[in-house]
Amino acid sequence: MSNANDNGERKKVGSLRDLPRSIEPGRDLWAGIEAKIAAERQASGAATVADLSSKRASYARMRWIAAAAVIAALAVGMWIGRSFLPTSGPATPLVAHTNPPPVNGAAAVQAAYFADPKFRNQRAALVKSLEAKLATLPPESRAKVLASLDAIHKSMQVLEEELGKDPTNALLQELLVNTYQDEMRVLTTVQEASDAGKGI
């Protein structure tokens, strides 16, 4: 690498230490750049101040409009309250409240569950043929079926009594429906087992 002296001679550079510490440019551009940056800052600063003041004014206007709307709504509500509600005399209910007649919860669940004619017919046929089907089963299977049906019928009775006390109890209603389904499972199992000649 070679370096030119002030005299125009070229000198060979062997290390970085041989290079000059600073070189002044032929023309200084910084003064123009600095002036341009300052002018832009002033213009944007003036615009920012104007924007902020206009935003503050619009926020203040919106606050006043919101406050006026709230006051107007309160005034209208008070006017309606004074115009349409009685101000003197005994208070009379606007709507007559009547309690519904008590409903037997078990009866309601039974009515809903037995509303399906297919289910009613199928259950009636299974109950009607139960004695004949039980006779074809081995004694141990017959004892199991009778014990299961007895437990199911006792559960039904208890659940119906409890639903009579608390007809809106959804858990009791679900348990009663499940008990009816358990009875149907036992009845259909007896039907299938006796048809196949097997025990349960």
pTM for the structure as a whole? 0.42
Sequence-ordered strand ranges (E) for the chain? 2-4, 10-12
Closest by CA to 188, choosing from 135, 141, 129, is 129
pLDDT digits (tens, 9 = 90+) for 150-189: 998 998 899 888 888 888 888 888 888 888 888 888 888 8
Count how many Cα atoms sit within 13 Å of the Cα of residue 100 in the half-sphere of its side chain. Answer: 5
Question: In whole angstroms, what is the distance from residue 170 CA to residue 102 CA?
Answer: 16
pLDDT digits (tens, 9 = 90+) for 74-91: 776 666 666 554 444 444
Helices and strands in the chain, H and E counts = 6, 2
Question: In whole angstroms, what is the distance from residue 60 CA to residue 56 CA?
Answer: 6
pLDDT tens per residue across all 200 residues of the chain = 555 555 556 778 888 888 888 877 778 888 888 899 988 888 777 666 667 777 788 878 888 888 777 787 777 666 666 655 444 444 444 333 334 334 455 555 555 555 677 878 888 888 888 888 888 888 888 888 889 889 989 988 998 888 888 888 888 888 888 888 888 888 888 888 776 655 55
Q: Please give the distance of CA 177 from its chain centroid, rounded to a whole number.
A: 29
Closest by CA to 184, choosing from 139, 152, 143, 146, is 152
